[in-house]
Amino acid sequence: MNIMLLGAPGAGKGTQASRIVEDHGLVHLSTGDILRKAVADGTPLGVEAKRYMDAGALVPDEVVIGLVKERISQPDAREKGVLFDGFPRTIPQAEALGAALADIGMALDAVVSIEVDPQAIVTRITSRRQCRGCGKIFNVATDGDLDTCTECGGEVYQRDDDTEETVRARLDAYEAQTSKLIPYYREHGMLYTVDGNQRPDDVYAAIRAILNGVG
Ligand code: ADP
Ligand code: ZN
């Protein structure tokens, strides 16, 4: 089973992704996490990507498409299936993914779009924190202002691009480019939507019901 999570920044993709990969044994492919690792490691790719990320802009298609192709060509991706989180974000990325999956005899089985009220997003993102070690996502409003991760003891930090100004630019990029994927995948008969304004457990219950029907 290959699944894609779609949604605006702050819709809760990362939170739901952890649960889905745990329950379905999928490979979690988050382009945001891959890019942040490249930035942290100071690779040439990371240095280039950071300029876009800090501005709230999308990293160029050819860069992220290359990263995704490399990851899905590894044997575990084909054996276990993949959860795509934060990719594709543009129509050219979606076309490239379809072609790359077809090349290895695979396809996307479902696109789950998590829909949230735009007013809630800026608050959600500016109160978001993440573990540097395991990637677990926390929120100051519900978890308190943690220094260390409850799962792995790693350092809990705030992403450089989780400032109010950058969030607004990221929301603009979502509207201008990524939201076009909703009609695109609807036309391909793959789109399922869930209400992301609910509590995380309830969002997950809705996703599970969809995935049980698909796989
Ligand atoms: P969020 O969904 O909260 O915006 P992500 O972690 O998915 O966060 O992405 C963070 C940043 O990484 C994006 O704002 C963008 O600059 C870059 N990025 C991640 N995935 C892609 C992609 N598929 N295409 C282009 N840029 C991407
Ligand atoms: Zn952790």
Local confidence pLDDT in tens for the 215 residues of the chain: 999 999 999 999 999 999 999 999 999 999 999 999 999 999 999 999 999 999 999 999 999 999 999 999 999 999 999 999 999 999 999 999 999 999 989 999 999 999 999 888 999 999 999 999 998 999 999 999 999 999 999 999 999 899 999 999 999 999 999 999 999 999 999 999 999 999 999 999 999 999 999 87
Query: Cα–chain-centroid distance for residue 67?
Result: 14
Whether residue 105 contacts residue 151, with contact meaning beta carbons closer than 8 Å, is answered with no
- The label of the residue with tokens 């969002």 reads 203
β-pairing verdict for 27-30 and 82-85: parallel
Q: Give 95-115 pLDDT, tens digit per residue.
A: 999 999 999 899 999 999 999
User: What separation in Å is there between the alpha carbon of 128 and the centre of ligand 2?
Assistant: 14
Q: Is 135 in the pocket of ligand 1 (CB under 6 A)?
A: no
Q: Is 170 a catalytic residue?
A: yes
User: Is the alpha carbon torsion for 25, 129, 110, 84 positive or negative?
Assistant: negative
If you count DSSP H runs as helices and E runs as strands, how many of each does the chain have, helices first?
11, 8
Tally the C-alpha atoms within 13 A of residue 19's C-alpha that lie toward its C-beta: 16
Q: Give 168-207 pLDDT, tens digit per residue.
A: 999 999 999 999 999 999 999 999 999 999 999 999 999 9
Measured in degrees and rounded to the nearest 5, phi and psi for residue 188 equal -85, 5
Q: Of 19, 37, 69, 159, which is the active-site residue?
A: 159
User: What separation in Å is there between the alpha carbon of 109 and the centre of ligand 2?
Assistant: 30
